[in-house]
Structure 1
Amino acid sequence: MSVKQAVRRQYQAVVDLTQGGNIQVPSEGWIRTVRKALGMSGAQLARRMGVTRARIAQVEQAELEGGVTLKSMQATAEAMGCRFVYAFVPPETIENLIIAQARKKAQAIVATAGKHMALEDQTVTEGRTRQEMTRLMNELIHEMPSDFWQDK
């Protein structure tokens, strides 16, 4: 295993830790939900942050609209005695996402080659096609060419 592959595996392990997290954003957003859970008014949070009540309302609304900054989220969380964390949570393991992309690319390569061969009356058996798919997938996963994540 190359150093590049070992480093990639380490990153994969970190991301895979998010599996099963099933994190759902509350319908009112995290800021308002945590603030209410603490029994803290908007005015009280504003005082703790040294801003106006109107600013708290703006931040809560910006969170719901997807326009809040990470810096604002962190400052607000700290003012409520919390730690702000954000994450990307893949639907499955990183390895499975890589395998799926390799399969997709291998299928495209095999399909293109199959069309050319059919034009030349050189069809390949289904078993041979599966073997070539597996070989290509393994090669793509191992090599990770620069166009690996390009879909065409």
Structure 2
Amino acid sequence: MPAFADMMKRPRPSRGWLKLIREALGRTERQQAQRLGISGPTLHKSEQSEADDRITLGQLRKLADGLDCELVYALVPRRPLTDMVEERARAIAIEEVGGVAHTMSLEDQRPGAARLRKQVDRRTEELLRGRWSDLWR
């Protein structure tokens, strides 16, 4: 799917994909509206809604179909999901181990930095072996 991969690298056109593709096909608003069985002003408002991020998926799917396009709806994580989960588990482990270390320091028994790192690593691993949904409470 090279065409899709190329599109993912580009920002969304400021005037929206619907208008860009319609114009690339050489169709006027009136011609496209007739093709869809809607009025010109309705098509104009729909294209504007898409450009402004206010269009519904159902509406976008219908309009894409009228352009002989397939609507591809995707959520693309900015980084690997496992990294996000591991980061969350580590943050919880640091908080938990840090709380215990603070209490111990009040009693003049704070463990060294190397020992704290090992405890954080161990607790992180424990959290990752558990239910990941518990990490987001």
What TM-score, normalized by structure 1, do the two folds share? 0.77
* Residue-by-residue CA offset, 1:70-117 (whole Å, 9 max, x unaligned): 001100111000000111111111111111111222222122222222
The answer (yes or no) to whether the contact 2:97–2:116 under 8 Å persists in 1 is yes
Matching residue of 1:15: none
Matching residue of 2:96: 109
Matches of 1:147 and 1:39, distance apart in 2: 53
Matches of 1:117 and 1:45, distance apart in 2: 72
* Residue-by-residue CA offset, 1:23-82 (whole Å, 9 max, x unaligned): 532221111122122222211221121111111111112122221100011001110000
1:61 aligns with 2:43: no
Greater alpha carbon shift after TM alignment, 73-82 vs 86-95: 86-95
1:41 aligns with 2:28: yes
Q: Higher RCO, 1 or 2 (CA under 8 Å, sep at least 6)?
A: 1
1:83 aligns with 2:70: yes
The structure with more radius of gyration: 2
Two-structure CA RMSD over aligned residues (Å): 1.8
What TM-score, normalized by structure 2, do the two folds share? 0.85
Instruction: Count how many residue pairs are aligned between Structure 1 and Structure 2.
Output: 131
Q: Per the alignment, in what secondary structure is the counterpart of residue 102 of structure 1?
A: helix
Matches of 1:104 and 1:26, distance apart in 2: 38
One-letter code of the match for 2:99?
T
Q: Post-superposition shift, 1:145?
A: 5.0
Matches of 2:98 and 2:42, distance apart in 1: 57
Q: Find runs of 4+ consecutive structure 1 residues off by over 4 angstroms.
A: none
Query: Residues 147 and 105 from structure 1, CA distance in 2 versus in 1: closer, same or farther, beyond 3 angstroms?
Result: same
Matches of 1:97 and 1:23, distance apart in 2: 25
Higher fraction of helix: 2
